[in-house]
Amino acid sequence: MEKNRNTLASALQQLPTYMPPEGLWQRIADGIGQATPDEGALQDAIQELPGHTPPAKVWNALAKELDSQQVRVVKLRQYRRWGAVAASVAVLAVAGWWITREPSPLVSIQYAQETVHAFDVAVDWNTDEDTFDRLEAMLGQIDNPVVNKLKAEYEELTMAHKDVEDMLRNYGKDPQLVRQMADIERERTDIYRQIIELI
């Protein structure tokens, strides 16, 4: 149970040791073997001790204290009896509520199995590239901080468009890649609209 058992054992090994003087154990053994003192002398000494009688008020105070403790014990027993009755009533009330409550609705579990067909949609993602190319040519001639910020976002989306297009070409038409490409095209179109409004 000791948490630091190794530390305690190490500390105990480092404590100094002492050897008793020669003949000590023999003297103790001889002392234990000696006869017990005379009982008569002890009884005489006890008889010579002085005796004292306490005042009457001490006995009266003790008697009152004992009576009050008996009353307290009786009251405590009554409290315990009423506590037991209250606990029994509470248990019966909870049991009655449990029996008479409405049953919980039955829950049934249903499941179905669906077959996912291969995702095969032919989408040409480069139909608007001519429009975007014209936009890039126009942006090269404009120097506006807001337009420049939109231009930077547009260039990032164009790079993402090319990356996802390469992945679609290499790995096939994965539904997640198609959704990602659709999101990129929506954002590119939104930025295109904002730039046209500012120009």
Query: Which band of pLDDT confidence, cut at 50, 70 and 90, is reported for residue 184?
Result: confident
> CA angle 37-26-23, nearest 5°?
130
Measured CA to CA in angstroms, residue 69 lies from 52, 73, 75, 81, 169 at distances of: 27, 6, 10, 18, 96
Residue-wise pLDDT for 95-105, tens only, equals: 877 777 766 66
φ/ψ (deg, to 5) at 4:
-105, 60
Is residue 4 exposed (0-12), middle (13-18) or buried (19+ Cβ within 10 Å)?
exposed
Which amino acid, one-letter code, is at 25?
W
Which structure tokens are listed for 64? Answer: 């009152």
- Which has the higher per-residue pLDDT, 171 or 125? 171
Residue-wise pLDDT for 4-32, tens only, equals: 788 888 888 888 887 888 888 888 877 77
Average pLDDT over residues 37-61: 78
pLDDT at 116: 53
- Mean pLDDT for the chain overall: 76
Alpha carbon of residue 42 to chain centroid: 69
